[in-house]
Structure 1
């Protein structure tokens, strides 16, 4: 998980919805981070606004 999050952050991407439902465990022992649907690049502010709810509660 930390490798996936670190790789995304290295590219300027913030996942914004990390939760158990967005983590997959693979038979070979790998852990995958899924659902980047509301991810945002550090230069993109379009999905963030006062009073706006994005992602899971």
Structure 2
């Protein structure tokens, strides 16, 4: 069995940022020797975290 590689949150943000700047998630993933699926997962993960934090902040003002 293989050990799962762990990536820092900063690295994940960097890959997603590059993908947004170039409009190509697959190209950004290839540059870092990752699968496009993993980069896509990170993108969804980071976006949902941002939305969650925004919803929490707005809830404080209700």
Per the normalisation by structure 1, the TM-score is 0.24
Q: Which has the higher strand share?
A: 1
Structure exhibiting the larger radius of gyration computed from Cα positions: 2
Per the normalisation by structure 2, the TM-score is 0.22
Higher relative contact order (CA 8 A, sep 6+): 1
